[in-house]
Chain A
């Protein structure tokens, strides 16, 4: 198969590579870029463990051909922290104990981050609705919802 030259920004760094048209973005991130925070769950867009941000929007890396993100900016869970300082939503997941096995956590964290960017003060229903595609099979969703709620800044009167 012929290789396509593509360029994208991954967690703030420009990356350039030649890949076959049938490469999944998910595999390029995990194998070629060696960033294994993005998880390979179902591979068919049902579990959202592979959620990444493309131009700030939450999308599934298993449902994207790597060639199609040419020129785009991608953020994975590794790109949320500033050096050793975790982002507010990452810290909230720790503080609220919203992690058990941790497999769904990167996807949950990124989807929550996208939600809070779009809507800084979501209600519980809005949080549950937004995370409805992100599946967790061990903790239940209560602590995860609480973690997102703890990031809601109450507007000062």
Chain B
């Protein structure tokens, strides 16, 4: 028998109170699509499951002047259908569109996807490429901005801030899995490129499933900045990705295969951004 305590919460204040009381025993669940396998394996025995699924104040996609603000309980299905994100952060929409299947996308949330801190989390890669910030709050220490995925045990994500793509910048995401549905990424790539006066002024490229955490490909980025973003420039920059990643061999693929696919996917992602920018 799997045993755990269960607390339903209806507001952020209530969650913080329970987190403060239960401390290391706390386990926040929203869509529960990650938590259910853990429950089955007995990994959450004696924990306190804090259900945050119904806190409507944390489910929104809002636009400000320079950013899109995403509530952590926004589902993958919400992201997929968002016109705001389609316009200002297409990489995130593409990641949502390729996530698991529609039934899981109706449950799974963006906050859960990043908080579970899997190296294969499909929304983490585009958020990294888009230079997003995660804001979390705890009763003891108040709010803080987290550019990485280091959370404390008593914290709750309250908002994910995504800088908008502008008229001369765009972003894309490509995932390689073993099949289309319900697949864990073998490699995923997201990139965001800005062009000024015909040259790449800013480039951020991120990869998932190729290191212990999603990583930025600094060498690819360096090779891109200042170029005209031609097919040859993209080809040359993509070759640099080997220096940025350290993929392991596991049940799904070998490290060598991931290494080769990373080059191909970086190239395809950048080419797609090229197409989006030339429209």
**Which residues of A come within 8 Å of B, CB atoms?**
1, 4, 21-22, 43-46, 48, 51, 54, 57-60, 62-65, 67-68, 70, 111, 114-115, 129-130, 132-134
Contact = CB atoms under 8 A, between A and B. Distances in A.
17 contacts: A21-B4, A21-B49, A22-B1, A22-B4, A22-B39, A45-B36, A45-B37, A58-B106, A60-B107, A63-B33, A63-B36, A64-B107, A65-B32, A67-B8, A68-B53, A133-B181, A133-B182
A111 B103 contact: yes
A130 B107 contact: no
B6 A4 contact: yes
Given A1-B3, A22-B1, A133-B182, A60 B103 contact: yes
B136 to A, nearest CB: 23
In terms of DSSP, what is the predominant structure of the interface of chain A?
A: mixed
B141 interface: no
A87 B5 CA distance: 40
A45 B99 CA distance: 13
Contacts of A70: 8
Contacts of A64: 32, 36, 107
A112 to B, nearest CB: 11
B37 A114 contact: no
Contacts of A65: 6, 32, 36, 39, 49, 51
A48 B4 contact: no
Interface in B230-277: none
A63 B107 contact: yes
Nearest to B3: A1
B2 A132 contact: no
B117 interface: no
B51 A67 contact: yes
Nearest to A115: B102
Contacts of A59: 103, 106-107
What 9 A-B pairs come out closest when comparing CB atoms?
Answer: A133-B101, A21-B6, A132-B181, A57-B106, A133-B181, A58-B103, A63-B36, A22-B2, A60-B103
Contact of A63 (B4, B8, B32, B180): B32
A133 B1 contact: no
B139 interface: no
B55 interface: no
B267 to A, nearest CB: 25
B144 interface: no
Contact of B51 (A46, A57, A68): A68
Contacts of A134: 101
Contacts of B39: 22, 65
Nearest to B30: A68
Contacts of A129: 180
B223 interface: no
A135 B159 CA distance: 35
Nearest to A42: B182
